[in-house]
Amino acid sequence: MANTNINRRVIDSLFSHNIISNEAKDFALTLLYPKHNWGLWVSRMLLWIGISLILSGIIYFCAFNWAIITPLMKFTSIQLAIFTLIGLSYFYGLEKVIGKVFLLTASVLVGVFIAVFGQVYQSGADAYTLFLTWALLILPWVVISEFAASWIVWMVIANLAIILYSVQVGSYIVRDMMYSNLIIFNSLFLVIKEYAVLHGASWLSSRGIRKALVIAIIIFAFITAINFIFGGFYLADFVGAGLSLLVHVMFYFVYRYKLRDIFVVSITTISALIILEAFIIKVMDEFINYKSWTYTFSIGFMTLGLTIFATAKLRMLAKKMENKND
């Protein structure tokens, strides 16, 4: 027991199995995490919520009909805000969180500026150009900020640019390949992120970023697979299905054996099993009447069976993966 890694999970496990009381659990957790840094925590909450409120207010301000305000005033106020935020960011320095937050806020205001620019000049440009320009303009700031939140915002903007381009301007093939393009783009970023973390970029090491990216990629891969199973057999569907298969296989093997993340393996496994079930249902549809008892029983039995299989498999994997980590 001397070598036991003591953490919240061990304490929670003891409590959930009624080996220690709730009071003992709280006591142990307070010993493990003794610093109730209320001041620091409240300070950070106020910073994030305050900045979000101000940004939202500015966006509402831009949505308002500015008939009575001249374009010069509109542009001047936003540019002034951007320069002020850049100045504050420089003043506090990018080593501090507040400096990074100011730079992030300036990045968001760049998008507001572009939107107002489009509103004033009525250029008739498609919405995707706004997001594309926004993403390209703020990329240098995002890179130098070394701030995970900035990258998340940038990824959202870039993904929106891809979606809007596909929907608004893209040809039929581009539109059909939208999810495939999103898979490729986000997977590329995930690869770069993992590579950067392995080579010292600790600010990207937050598991939240990995989880967010993986969930997004798996959702896109899931959609392409389902489209292939229940849709037509167009080229885009084949490409999407192929990418989906590749994503599931790569995620499983990389995060099972190399990077060891049970969350990614779990999500990938569950997605794969649901796709498998969808495929079986599609095949069954060809041979069995969906109103028959055979059909309903088979689906129920298969769903339960796959859920049990997933639970057992994932729990065993989790145990193996943690053992190999020690």
Partner 1 sequence: MTNITFEKILDKLIKAKLIKKSNLPEIENHIESQYGEQHLSPLVQTLLGIGVLVAALCFMAFFHVSEIIDIKSASHLLTGGVIFVVLAIIVLRATGKKGGIIKQSIVTKIAFCLMALGKIMFVVGWELYFPSNFGWSIIVGALIVTISTYPLFNINFERLLSVAFVLITLFFKVVDMKAALIVNALFLIEALVFGCLFLYTKTKNEYMPITYATVSAMIVQAVYSSAQLGVTHHLYLNVILAASLVALIIYLAGGIKKALNEPLILASLCAVGLAFLSVPVVLLSICLMLVGYAKHNNPILIVGTALMPIGLLVFYYNLQTTLLDKSVILIGSGVLLLIGRAYISFRKLDVEV
Q: Which residue, 45 or 169, has its beta carbon nearer to partner 1?
A: 45
Q: Which long-range contacts (CB under 8 A, 24 or more apart) does 6-14 make?
A: 6/32, 7/32, 8/32, 8/33
Q: How many residues would you count in the chain?
A: 326
> Tokens in use for 308?
């049990």
Min separation Cβ 30 and partner 1, Å: 8
- 43 vs 168 by CB, closer to partner 1: 43
CA angle 278, 163, 172 (to 5 degrees): 75
Minimum separation from the CB atom of position 9 to partner 1 (A): 6
Exposed, middle or buried by CB within 10 Å (0-12, 13-18, 19+), for 288? middle
Nearest distance from residue 94's CB to partner 1, in Å? 18
| Shortest reach from residue 101's CB to partner 1, in Å | 11
DSSP 76-140: HHHHHHHHHHHHHHHHH-TTSHHHHHHHHHHHHHHHHHHHHHHHHHT----HHHHHHHHHHHHHH
C-beta of 57 vs 93, nearer to partner 1: 57
Phi, psi angle pair for 256, to nearest 5°: -90, -45
- Residues 39 and 236: their CA atoms lie apart, in Å, by 53
Q: Which is nearer to partner 1, 51 or 152 (CB)?
A: 51
| Cβ–Cβ < 8 Å for 182, 220 | yes
**Nearest to residue 263, comparing CAs of 215, 324, 325, 193?**
215
Which among 161, 173, 49, 170 is positioned nearest to 101, based on CA atoms?
A: 49
Q: Compute the least distance from the CB of residue 92 to partner 1, in Å.
A: 11
Closest separation between CB of residue 90 and partner 1, Å? 18
To 5 degrees, how large is the angle CA 265–CA 157–CA 47?
A: 90
Closer by beta carbon to partner 1, 123 or else 296: 296
Q: List the one residue out of 257, 228, 253, 248 whose CA is nearest residue 187.
A: 248
Q: Which is nearer to partner 1, 76 or 168 (CB)?
A: 76
Beta carbon of residue 276, minimum distance to partner 1 (angstroms, whole number): 13
Beta carbon nearer to partner 1, 63 or 136: 63
In whole angstroms, the minimum distance from the beta carbon of 113 to partner 1 comes to 16
What's the rounded Cα separation, in Å, for the pair 96 and 208? Answer: 20
Closer to partner 1 by CB, 10 or 192: give it. Answer: 10
For residue 126, the tally of other CB atoms under 10 A from its CB is 14
